[in-house]
């Protein structure tokens, strides 16, 4: 049943979840590592758990990752 599994997924919490404050603090490091193909889930499991569960922080991560992939590393 799709509804039951969706509800279960929403209610399930991960004790490794670091919360928004720490995820936002590390987001630039995490995104740069992800953009370079690094294993972010292994290096920062608590941030990965948070981004999978928090819509706004996940959206910010996707935005930053998109920005990094689109840019050509300009200098001043």
Partner 1 sequence: MPGLRALLVAERVLRAVRRRAGVRVNGLRWAHLGSIMVMVAGNSGVERIPAVAAGLDPASAEWLRVLADTGPRREAALARLHEMLLRIAQGEVRRRGPRLRLAGPELDDLAYQAAADALLAITGKLGQFRGESRFTTWAYKFVIFEVSGKIGRHFWRHPSVPFDAEDWDRLPGRFGFDPAQEAEWRDLLAALRRAVDEELTARQRRVFVAIVLNNVPLDTLVIEMAANRNAIYKTLFDARRKLRAALAANGYLDDDSPRRS
Chain residues binding partner 1 by CB under 8 A are: 1-4, 6-8, 10-17, 19-21, 24, 27-29, 31-32, 45, 53-57, 59-60, 62-64, 66-68, 70-71, 73-76
Nearer to partner 1, 37 or 55 (CB): 55
State the nearest-atom distance from the C-beta of 47 to partner 1, in Å. 13
Helices 19-35 and 55-70 meet at what angle, rounded to 10?
20
State the nearest-atom distance from the C-beta of 17 to partner 1, in Å. 7
Report the C-alpha gap between 76 and 16 in whole angstroms: 39
Report the C-alpha gap between 47 and 30 in whole angstroms: 8
């Amino acid at each position: 049943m799709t509804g039951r599994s969706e509800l279960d997924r929403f209610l399930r919490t991960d004790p490794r979840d670091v919360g928004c404050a720490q995820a936002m603090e590390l987001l630039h490091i995490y995104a740069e590592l992800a953009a370079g193909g690094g294993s972010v889930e292994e290096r920062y499991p608590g941030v990965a758990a948070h981004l999978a569960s928090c819509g706004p922080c996940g959206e910010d991560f996707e935005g930053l990752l998109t920005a990094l992939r689109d840019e050509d590393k300009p200098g001043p």
